[in-house]
Structure 1
Amino acid sequence: MNHGKEVDFVQNALIWNYWNESASIMNQWYPREANPPGENYYYWWQAHVIDVFIDGWSRTSDARYMERIEAIYDGILQSNGGTFLHHYYDDMEWLALALLRAYQTTRDEKYKQSVLELWADIQTAWSEQLGGGMAWNKGQLDYKNTPANAPAAILAARLHQCFGDKSDLDWALNIYRWNKDHLVDPATGFVWDGINRNGDMQIDYDWVFTYCQGVFIGAGVELYRCTNDWSFLEDAKRTAHACIERLCNPESLVLPNEGIDDTGLFKGILVRYLAELLRVAPEMNEVREVIKANAAILTKQGLDMENGLCGPSWDSRPSLPVQLSVQLSGVMLLEADELLRHMD
């Protein structure tokens, strides 16, 4: 298969295999029969569907991607009870990030208004418990983690870049500083998941996820773009190096199998923000090599050439059923690889 064709293949497979026409969202599983009745909807996964469709549109200008985004916007609203607001702050952050990109792509005011509504609610996550920081969910305000803080910093920084409100930059800086001070290893730059999950003030050092590295890298990149302060870029580079050293196979550079469900999305998120790092630091060849190595092994060994499906291990063929989260990570990887081809 020629370069560029693989990413079209997996993007098409995403639509063919997961699109639920009646609900205007993606099913959780392929094949359709694997979806338990009434259990096919995960709010934050749909946000990443929007993100990968914007990736597809940016690469091809194919109008069908925008048509799907229009449809899924309404589908999420319907499936979420007529509102985009949610119990989990990190979930809302992902939808706000995706809809902000949709607004920047289309200039459709409905996306902007939805982002601002989400951002106003997301701000209620901040409290002075644990010295500041964003809570993970509305029912546990004293549990704070990287998944709720780093994407919020990315969002606030991008809002500042888009609309110029200094208060958004202040939010981004405060959130980022809390995340760095509390959940980043000062010795290595490796990012820990959360603190006080069980009400014992303990950090979950044993929760080692690609996702946490990716979003902290992304926050550093966006704050560098906002401020031109090299310290943010150095933070991002340091975390990327620590991530590669600790999580990639030392010989093949393949990223780990993190399983299914929410963690099935984690590698794709890491790769998205590694690609963003390369936009501002193209000299980071180790990052480029990780993306290229994983994309090469996925297309050579891990891609189901009949159905366009990706598994949780990028170096081996998937077995049915395949979850949407896992497929999305594969799409993100191949979109990032294609982006690099145009950057090189």
Structure 2
Amino acid sequence: MWLHRADLAEAAINERHASHVWGIPRTNLAVVAWPPHTKEKLFYRWHYWWQAHYIDCLVDATLRRPTNARKQRLKETIAGVRVRQFGRLTHNDYYDDKTWLALALDRAREVNGRGRKKFLRRLEENILAGLDSITGVMPWRVGETFFNVPTNAPVAIMAARTGRVEKARYLVDWIFDNLVDDHGLIMDGIRMSMHGPEVVRNTYPYCQGVVIGACVEIALALREQERSEEAVNYLAHARALIHAVAKEMATPEGVIDVQTGDGDGGLFKGILARYLADAAVRLPADNPANIAARKIAARLVMASAESVWNHRLEVDGLPVFATDWTEDARLPHNYGLGTNALSDIVRVVRIDERDLSVQLSGWMLVEAAARISMDEEAAKND
């Protein structure tokens, strides 16, 4: 069931959003809204880090059911990003954006079964070169004195996956030393000011997701190195955060229920779902606490996916997902979204579901549900 639903989510994005970059053959990017206006069709607006999550979703689909067509679209999308960046993937001031792309490209490399490409290594090295010499952690962007979780946790995931486990540990330890609130949730970051460090206390869904993902990666990397005792702390962090998300960010039925709207926020819940699914599948099932956390993470994903699917719209037989996972989706349109100043001021026509970010988040959630269902099926057959 979930595999078929993931197929439909994939088809919805590709049919509505996939397009050649400036008409160049063998390139592909996702247009950032549907229905789009002219600037969006021409990739004047294209959102570097949204495309990274589009690549991640394409990888999910290819892992779920490999086909030549999926592998080709993945290659063309990577080519599209490089074309739109004029060949310079590092030409971006935001370290979180670059890290999301590095993570997606690394997963794509695994799907294609090829060695690490030079442009990926250069991107990773460019990111790590941005570490602050005083704090040892990553700023949000070049020249910035804001050190946030949406940058540092993805960098920790990248570091753990590429053999830099001690660097990953340092970043995650910094997060837990400084940015856990009274409910056990992860806060956004620390801004350095003339008056000293100021904690930005927002608790976004994707902050929880990426820290769960970083803890899982570090713990598994340490266990592979036969350092299981050192992994215990990161497994405990992951479990505690999964419990906090279930208590503070979900309905009693387990549906993730946080208002994130459109724009960049449209991706936040989908990222949380991705890493909850990762924990549900990859947390070691070797003690009762881990098994319980796996079950809670799986329940959050499956309940959210069921709710989103039940509240979807269908256009031409393909889903349109809601920005609010507990409410019905609204039909997107672009009425009044022209390029004049008036349309920038008058926001009453704005429909969150129009944004690629919102639809990618729904696709990520459905792929997460498909991954868990496949894992459960494999466990039954063992």
Same fold (TM over 0.5): yes
Contact in 2 for aligned 1:89/1:148 (Cα 8 Å): yes
Query: Which residue number corresponds to residue 159 of structure 2?
Result: 156
Are 2:140 and 1:136 equivalent residues in the alignment?
yes
Q: In structure 2, what is the equivalent of residue 215 of structure 1?
A: 210
Q: 1:311 aligns with which of 317, 322, 329?
A: 322
AA aligned opposite 1:287: A
1:184 shift after superposition: 2.5
Instruction: Give the CA RMSD over aligned residues.
Output: 1.9
- Paired positions, count: 331
**Does the Cα contact within 8 Å between 1:99 and 1:112 map onto a contact in 2?**
no
- The structure-2 alpha-carbon separation of the partners of 1:180 and 1:21, relative to structure 1 and needing over 3 Å to count, comes to same
CA distance in 1, matches of 2:165, 2:39: 42
Bigger Cα Rg: 2
Residue pair 1:188, 1:238 contacting (<8 A) in 2 also: no
* Residue 305 (structure 1) shift: 5.2
Once the two structures are superposed, the pairs formed by residues 122-133 of structure 1 within 5 Å of their partners are 122-129=127-134, 131-133=135-137
Structure 1: distance between partners of 2:13 and 2:211? 28
What is aligned with 1:336? 368
What residue number does 2:256 align with?
A: 254
CA distance 1:175–1:3, shift in 2 (3 Å): closer
Secondary structure, counterpart of 1:208 in structure 2:
coil
Deviations 1:239-258 (A, max 9, x none): 11112211112345333231
Deviation string, structure 1 residues 226-246 (Cα, Å, up to 9, x no partner): 112121111011111112211
2:68 equivalent to 1:63: yes
Correspondences of 1:19-58 after superposition (within 5 Å): 19-23=18-22, 24-33=28-37, 36=40, 39-58=44-63
Name the SS of the counterpart of 2:198 in structure 1: coil
**Aligned counterpart, 1:325:** 357
Matches of 1:96 and 1:199 in 2, distance apart? Answer: 33
1:188 CA displacement: 4.4
Aligned positions of 1:1-344 closer than 5 A: 2-23=1-22, 24-33=28-37, 36=40, 39-85=44-90, 86-109=92-115, 112-129=117-134, 131-140=135-144, 142-160=145-163, 168-185=164-181, 188-196=183-191, 200=195, 201-205=197-201, 207-228=202-223, 229-251=231-253, 253-281=255-283, 283=291, 284=293, 285-304=295-314, 306=316, 307-315=318-326, 316-321=328-333, 322-344=354-376
Distance 1:197 1:68, change over 3 A: farther
1-structure distance, mates of 2:192, 2:359? 29
Q: TM-score of the superposition, structure 2-length normalised?
A: 0.82
- Structure 2 spans left out of the alignment, 5+ residues: 23-27, 224-230, 286-290, 334-353, 377-382
State TM-score, norm by structure 1: 0.90
One-letter amino acid matched to 2:375: M
